[in-house]
A and B are shown apart, each in its own frame.
Chain A
Amino acid sequence: MIHVKNITKTYGKKANAFVALKDVSFTIPTGKTVAILGKSGSGKSTLMHAMSGLDRPEKGEVLIDGQDILKLKARAVDNFRANKMSFIFQSFFVQANESCYDNVAMPLEIAKVPRSERRKKVEAALAAVELLDKKKSRARDLSGGQKQRLAIARAIVNEPEILFADEPTGNLDSTTGEVVEDFLFNYVKQRNATLIIVTHDPDLADRCDARIDIKDGVVHKITGLDTPVKAKKPRIAKRKIQ
């Protein structure tokens, strides 16, 4: 269960202040797939960063299974991310010079998984995205779709409870994109994990259980979640004039 309560994030100071998120609240039950939709600059990426503890909003709470991660110390948030969360990015961020095996092993190293257990986990993750035969290939030799599959393997290897995907198919053609989506949704279903996809692709959003529409830093509309929080009218424009 992810509980986002009244998050406000402002960039810059005084005259240059830009409110990226304004009083955002919602609740995502465990095992749901949620799409966060919005145009670029709407604050959807900032929201994802806040939910994962990468960014620290100045106001509000992010409760994950009852624990407010914004109140945790840096080290504890790092541990939280290493063991419970994972990320998939639009531009893959696979380590081009390293083998597929080493790419996938990185989260296990960070999470201090004993070496004896790593091999099995890495191979299972690679098998899940059908890349086991590329184990020893360098990541740079893979195609775009394969790279994103590798990124998925890296994201699921430590069996996270929450998966964040930032435009996972943004750099892929629709056919490859669909294959990648399938792997992603398969994992989530098998593990009853929570998937949060940041996208502006309505087709991808349609595959999710729920969607949160964001506009100018404010939740515009929430569909498919049991406890829809009533959207507040944007008051940012007024602030700006002042």
Chain B
Amino acid sequence: MKVTDIIRRAGRSLRQAKTRTLLTSLAIGVGAFTITLSLAGGQGGRDYADAIVTANTDVREIVVSKESEDVDAIPRYEEGGAGRPSQAQGGAFTQGLEFLSLDDLDDMATVKNVVSVTPNYTPGVDYIQSESSERYQATVTTFSPSVSLEYAAGSVDGDLGNDEVVLTEEYAETLGFNTPADAVGETVTIGATRQQTAFSGGDLERDIFSFTIRAVSSESGLAFRSQGSLLVSMETIKELYTYVNEGTPGYNNFLIASVIVENADQASAVKADLEAKGYTAQTSEDVLGTVNTFINVLLGVLLGFGTLAVITSVFGIINTMYISVLERTQQIGLMKALGMSQRDVGALFTFEAAWIGFLGGAIGAGLAVVGGTITNPLISEALGLGDIFLLIFTPVQVLSVVSGLILISILAGILPARKASRLDPIEALRTE
């Protein structure tokens, strides 16, 4: 018999037992549904994590710190020393971390493929104020051109100018601007105190710095960035840092430095070099890896349920196929008497199993895609993800789920198909 004839005949046989075929297919469909959804969720989750990480970090950036040799020991106080973060930061010490000195930064810069090394400047500014507002507390952090931000008004293409600032929507409102757009182009001032003058006990030396508002960043489903942060350029933040901290014991001692590599592929090699030098380094991929591990565990659990459903349905297929063989004993006997070969009889039942698998896979995966597409906006709304969808279906995934189930069904059909192919036609035709 020709393969096309066998396939058509297999399809016809299934149509003649519609209810049974459909019910068996639905059993696999449940597995297909679960697996498709969990794969889509895994894909969506990873994409989401990826988006979060790229929105908040630079893929070319490696965050470097230095662990003290005796990590567990509580640091000893040293008179007048700057050896410990707790003393420099004027408060909580960070157990297990050592300062990065300027020498350390230079050392990092010697590593191959490193483009720049910048310490994490944390200037403690006093306040921010617009022309018509009160003074409000503020934290200043560095604007990174490669971190994607969403803007409510204005935008920054490339780097920020040295006298420019990016506000959050909250600040724009607090500082008295009616809309974010009103804020763009306006001037704000930031006040800072030289800490050295506080240490020495004399009159405090204060200054104000003026900035033009370049843009207002909007709240994003992706951003981890503190909504209290104002963004200024690297030059500016260094200037502020120097003004505030110069002459204090902690000046030019940093907890964290960021190393920028030439391109993202080199990040892990540079990380290894830095670790060889005794630093602790974390790439954005490491951060992503942590998030992905969590997603993968969840995905694994869901996939496990789907696989269980598929395994259960395998017994359903075997059962259905056995019943089909029994029911069609006469037909099989007749076909064999008419000269159908053992192989073709086996193939006929194998194709029937394959059809069941295809049907179940298509129904399950189809329902998953339709259901997922419909509920995607609802999920995003409920979780506050904005326009990011958590379920992402790719044709490759759906196709591999369906073809995987066809394969499993064929495997499940092996025993019944063998029974059919080995049926003795004389016995089969004796049944009245």
Interface residues of A (CB under 8 A from B): 49, 52, 54-55, 74-75, 78-83, 85-87, 89, 91, 93, 95, 97-98, 102, 106-107, 109-112
CB-based contact A82/B426 at 8 Å: no
Which listed residue (B333, B339, B426) contacts A78, Cβ 8 A? B339
Q: In the complex the two chains form, what is the Cα distance from A46 to B334 in whole Å?
A: 16
Distance from A83 Cβ to chain B, minimum over Cβ atoms (Å) = 7
In the assembled complex, which residues on chain B have CB atoms less than 8 Å from the CB atom of A49? 426
- Shortest CB–CB separation between residue A97 and chain B, in angstroms? 4
Known: A98-B12, A110-B1, A112-B2. 5 other contacts (CB 8 A): A93-B333, A109-B1, A109-B2, A110-B338, A110-B339
Cβ of A126 to closest chain B Cβ, rounded Å: 17
Q: Which of B172-218 contact A (CB under 8 A)?
A: none
Closest to B428 in A: A93
Give Cα A91 to B333, complex, Å: 13
Question: Complex formed: what's the CA distance from A106 to B331 in Å?
Answer: 11
24 contacts between A and B (CB under 8 A): A52-B337, A54-B336, A54-B426, A55-B426, A74-B342, A75-B341, A78-B336, A78-B339, A79-B339, A80-B339, A81-B337, A83-B339, A85-B339, A87-B334, A93-B330, A93-B331, A93-B334, A98-B12, A109-B5, A109-B9, A110-B1, A110-B338, A110-B339, A110-B344
Chain B residue contacts of A75, Cβ below 8 A: 341
| Complex interface: chain A residues within 8 A of B425 (CB) | 54
Task: Determine the residue in chain B with the shortest Cβ distance to A114.
Answer: B2
Give the shortest distance, in Å, between B362 (CB) and chain A (any CB): 24
B9, B337, B339, B344 — which one has the most chain A CB atoms within 10 A of its CB? Answer: B339
B340 in the interface, Cβ–Cβ < 8 Å? yes
Question: Looking at B9, B335, B429, which has the most chain A CB atoms within 10 Å of its CB?
Answer: B429
Look across to chain A and name the residue whose beta carbon is closest to the beta carbon of B431: A91
Decide: B341 and A78 in contact? CB cutoff 8 A.
Answer: yes
> In the docked arrangement, what's the CA distance between A145 and B394, Å?
57
B349 to chain A, nearest CB (A): 15
B16 within 8 A of A: yes
Which residues of chain B have C-beta atoms less than 8 A from A97's C-beta? 16
Separation of A78 and B5 alpha carbons in the complex (Å): 17
Closest to A77 in B: B339
Measured CB to CB, the nearest residue on chain A to B5 is A109
* Inter-chain contacts of A95 with B (CB < 8 A): 331
Q: Are A106 and B335 in contact (CB under 8 A)?
A: yes
Q: Taking CB as reference atom, which chain B residue is nearest A90?
A: B432
Please, which residue of chain A has its CB at the minimum distance from the CB of B337? A87
Task: Give the chain B neighbours of A89 by CB distance below 8 A.
Answer: 334, 429
Whole-angstrom distance between the alpha carbons of A19 and B339 in the complex? 27
Q: A102-B12, A109-B1, A112-B2 are in contact. Are A93 and B429 (CB under 8 A)?
A: yes
Report how far A107 CA is from B9 CA in the complex, Å: 13
> Which B residues are CB-close (under 8 A) to A81?
337-339
Q: Give Cα distance in the complex from A70 to B9, angstroms.
A: 30
Tell me, rounded to whole Å, the shortest Cβ–Cβ distance linking B6 to chain A. Answer: 8
CB neighbors of A among B58-89 (8 A): none
A91 to B429, CA, bound (A): 9
Q: How far is the CA of A102 from the CA of B12 in the complex (A)?
A: 10
Once the chains bind, are A82 and B2 in contact (CB under 8 Å)?
no
Determine the residue in chain B with the shortest Cβ distance to A171: B432
Determine if A111 and B339 form an interchain contact, defined as CB atoms under 8 angstroms apart.
yes
Contact B340 A82 (CB under 8 A): yes
Instruction: Across the interface, name the chain B residue whose C-beta is closest to A166.
Output: B429
Alpha-carbon distance between A206 and B79 when the two chains are bound, in angstroms: 130
Interface 1/0 per residue, B328-368 and A, CB below 8 Å? 00110111111111101000000000000000000000000
Q: Shortest CB–CB separation between residue B304 and chain A, in angstroms?
A: 40
**Chain B residues whose C-beta falls within 8 Å of the C-beta of A110 in the assembled complex:** 1, 335, 338-340, 344
Q: How far is the CA of A78 from the CA of B336 in the complex (A)?
A: 8
A87 touches B426 (CB 8 A): no
Q: How far is the CB of A162 from chain B (nearest CB, A)?
A: 12
Bound-state Cα–Cα, A112 to B339, Å? 11
Interface string of B394-432 (1 = CB under 8 A from A): 000000000000000000000000000000011001001
Inter-chain CA distance A98–B8, complex, in Å, is: 13
Bound form: Cα–Cα A122–B170 in Å: 82
